[in-house]
Amino acid sequence: MLALLLLLSAESPAMAETLRGMVKAVHDGDTVVLVGRGTGRVTLRLYGVDAPETRKPDKPGQPFGSQAKRVLMFKVLGKEVTAEVQDRDQYGRAVGVLLLAGRDINAEMVSEGMAWAYRQFLHGPYASRYIQLEEQARRQRRGFWRDSNPQPPWEFRRGQKRRR
């Protein structure tokens, strides 16, 4: 019984991995590259948020995709950050909450209308906060909420897959 309890507690979110490093690159509005002593180079997908898609050489982007990337770059590029890893995604990326001097950067992106609360993958204590921030950004018409009906990135990606 004790062994089972130890195994379960080792997998609990309270035991989440914490990464520290400098942001060396920003791929888009929800993905950065950290480089740190002991951690090496880590691609981090921001947990619980989904930013508009940026244009790629072989794929179109969404309105506000490049702005979301620039906002995230301005906030964190070249700065020392902490990431509280919540999970790993299908591509092997760490998925976590990005913190800069105690500020929740994921929450800021949602609050500024630069990312949606990604309800499909949002759980626990962050869920209600990020959803509340998204609703507030929508009411105040911040960022992409200035558009009458912005398309969430997951719908945009689904539409792109159908076109191929």
The pLDDT value given to residue 135: 98
Share of the chain above pLDDT 70, in %: 89
pLDDT by residue (tens digit) across 27-54? Answer: 999 999 999 988 899 999 999 999 999 9
User: What is the arithmetic mean of pLDDT over 59-78?
Assistant: 96
Return the H-helix or E-strand segment holding 5.
helix 2-10
Predicted confidence band of residue 164 (pLDDT cuts 50, 70, 90): low
| Annotated catalytic residue within 11, 37, 41, 45 | 45
Tokens 């950004």 correspond to 137
| Annotated catalytic residue within 17, 70, 88, 93 | 93
Angstrom CA distances, 141 to 54, 94, 110, 145, 155, stand at 21, 31, 12, 5, 20
Report the SS3 class of residue 24: strand
| Annotated catalytic residue within 11, 17, 41, 53 | 53
The answer to whether residue 158 is catalytic is no
Q: What's the rounded Cα separation, in Å, for the pair 63 and 58?
A: 17
pLDDT by residue (tens digit) across 95-120? Answer: 999 999 999 999 999 999 999 999 99
Angstrom CA distances, 126 to 13, 16, 132, 144, 148, stand at 12, 14, 10, 21, 27
pTM over 0.85: yes
The answer to whether residue 146 is catalytic is no
The answer to whether residue 53 is catalytic is yes
The CA radius of gyration of the chain, in Å to the nearest whole number, is 17
Q: What's the rounded Cα separation, in Å, for the pair 66 and 53?
A: 8
